[in-house]
Amino acid sequence: MSSKTPKGLLVVYTGDGKGKTTAALGVVFRALGRGMKPAVVQFIKGKWKTGERTFAETLPGLVFLTMGRGFTWESEDISRDKRAAQEAWAEARRLISSGEHEVVVLDELTYVINYGFVPVEEVLEALAARPSHVHVIVTGRSAPEPLLAVAELVTEMKCVRHPYEKGIPAQVGLDF
Ligand code: ATP
Ligand code: MG
C-alpha cells in the first residue's frame, strides 16, 4: 500500500491513568474542526450527566450515544446490562460500517469485551470489514490483547498520581 493511500486507523487508549476518554474527545473536537462528522458511543452510563454529553447535544454535526436507559455497572441485573451493551454494540457497528463517520469513538468498549458481553472476535470482524477511511478509537482499561494486536496506535495512560488517592473527589468540568 502506498503511504498516500488513505487508511482509517485503529487507535486504543488504555491503561490505569486518567486521560483515555478525554484524549478520544480531543480527537472528536479536532475532527469537528475539519468539517468531519464524528460519532461517539459510550458503553457506560454513569450516575451523572457529563459535561461532554451536555455539550454534545448542542453540536448538530456530532453523533453522541450512551448506552440504553437504566444501564449501570452497579446494576445487579446482569442480563439487562448485557442486553444494553449488546444493543449499544449493534448501534456502534452500524455507525462504523455506514462509512458516514470519519472518526468513531467506542468509549469504554474494553469493559464490554472483558465482561464477556460482546466477543472480541465480533469486534475484530467489524473493524476488519469497515470502510477504509474510518478511524476507530477504543478507550478503556485493560484492553484485550487481540485488539491491541491489530491496532495501529496504542497509548497506555500510566497513573503517576491521581487526586483520588488523597481523597479529593471528582471535579466538575475536569472529570465529568
Ligand atoms: P477521563 O474521562 O478523565 O479521560 P479516563 O477515561 O482515563 O478518564 P476512566 O477509567 O474511564 O478514566 O475513569 C473515569 C473517571 O475515573 C474519571 O472521572 C477519572 O478522573 C477517574 N480516574 C481515572 N483514572 C483514575 C485513577 N488512576 N485513579 C482514580 N480515578 C481515576
Ligand atoms: Mg474513560
**Residue range 51-100, pLDDT digits in tens:** 999 999 999 889 999 986 544 555 567 788 888 899 999 999 999 999 99
Give residue 122 CA to ligand 1 midpoint distance, Å. Answer: 27
Location of C-alpha cell 474527545: 25
Percent of the chain clearing pLDDT 70 (strictly above) = 89
Specify the pLDDT at position 36: 97
Whole-angstrom distance, CA of residue 161 vs CA of residue 80: 35
pLDDT given at position 80: 82
pLDDT in tens, 116-171: 999 999 999 999 999 999 999 999 999 999 999 999 999 999 999 999 999 999 99
Instruction: Say what the pLDDT of residue 3 is.
Output: 56
Whether 80 contacts 54, CB under 8 Å = no
Domains belonging to the chain, first-starting first, are 10-157 (3.40.50.300)
Q: Name the residue of 13, 14, 18, 29 to mutate for ligand 1: max ligand atoms within 8 A of Cβ.
A: 18
Q: Which residues pair with 64 in a beta bridge?
A: 40
Q: Which of 37-46, 156-165, 167-176 has the lowest mean pLDDT?
A: 37-46
> How high is the pLDDT of residue 29?
97
The three cell numbers of residue 105 are 469513538
